[in-house]
Homo-oligomer: A and B are copies of this chain.
């Protein structure tokens, strides 16, 4: 596949128009009036060029996209949604291979070039998600990079056998160790976190923990996480997803947590949830903390919402954080682009010469304009190859 491309007349992040020359999938030159005989040309017509959008937290294995409308009937608690989903997954045939490809391709159409997905691992379905995603990951390698988290969605200790399945998933190459609400779901914060960190140590993998626990309970779990990072020397190796406890109104509770996140280089993932306390994005970034964003589940049994558009996600993060000034909306955009690359340690990310040519061309005047307008007429480039136009990907969904 040709991985050379000359992009003409594009405005990087809304700056002055320029050309970008891509060779062997990397940006090699960025200047006006470039020419490169024989290299295919993509005329951006003065549109914005943005680095590839980064979906840093989703659940590709369990979307219902393309399966017809399924009414949402789960109860209000997280454990209700967990049990409801596990009961339906087999009967509805929510096949991880098929479903992950559908969602990933929809995301690529919106300009996403990197995805981190949490894969359900439990004693009812074993490694179904791990195997399904392995197929999708291989098949979609030309259009999107998929990073996987082994995720004990139904609890790690409360359902014996799960820990062994997690261990097997990591042995099979899954890149990240996941965890979930050490107090609220497993009811054993010490046991849960000791197990998660032991898996990390054994396999030499980073950690990404779901932490929905609010207020003092979440702060307690965070403290236990900090203790283990210090004891094991895992600075910079941990991401905490959701972290609703950081949205508590009590600054005396939250500020020391923020200071420790910075000290231990813990990344935070937020979806910008409208109905839950949310991590204060501007304060976290000002403290030097890596902050990324994600769609979380899209059209699954937990929730009907979501479409995988990380520009729309930036809008939702902006609305949640009351970002109105352009420089503030750009913080929300940051969480959906470079912030994701920082959290996921993506090498060579950006629009500078030397970076991988993962990018998206979008109509708009400024980055903030793109976030609030979210035009769908996008051109998506992965490693120098145009992989989607107007939402339609070169790879066809199953």
Contact = CB atoms under 8 A, between A and B. Distances in A.
A384 to B, nearest CB: 30
A274 B366 CA distance: 23
A307 interface: yes
A32 interface: no
Contact of A325 (B72, B321, B325): B72
A369 B322 contact: no
A315 interface: yes
Contact of A274 (B73, B299, B320): B320
Interface string A317-346: 011111011100100000000000000000
A218 interface: no
Interface in A230-282: 272-276
B326 A305 contact: no
A68 interface: yes
A372 B326 contact: no
Given A72-B325, A325-B72, A316 B274 contact: yes
Nearest to A328: B72
A305 B299 contact: no
Nearest to A329: B304
Contact of A302 (B72, B275, B307, B324): B324
B275 A321 contact: yes
Q: Categorize the interface residue count of chain A.
A: 35 or more
B366 A69 contact: yes
Interface string A286-309: 000000000000010011111100
A153 interface: no
Main secondary structure, interface of A, reads loop
A325 B274 contact: no
A372 B319 contact: no
Given A320-B275, A322-B275, A304 B372 contact: yes
A71 B302 contact: no
B368 A304 contact: yes
Contacts of A322: 275-276
A39 interface: no
A74 interface: yes
B365 A69 contact: yes
A201 interface: no
Interface in A130-181: none
Nearest to A273: B319
Nearest to A371: B304
Given A274-B316, A319-B275, A71 B304 contact: no
A373 interface: yes
A372 B305 contact: yes
Contact of A305 (B68, B307, B315): B315
A372 to B, nearest CB: 5
Given A276-B322, A316-B319, 11 more contacts: A69-B365, A71-B326, A71-B368, A272-B274, A274-B319, A275-B319, A275-B320, A275-B321, A299-B372, A303-B324, A304-B372
18 contacts: A71-B325, A71-B326, A72-B324, A72-B326, A72-B368, A74-B324, A74-B325, A273-B319, A274-B319, A275-B320, A275-B321, A275-B322, A302-B324, A304-B329, A305-B315, A305-B324, A305-B372, A307-B372
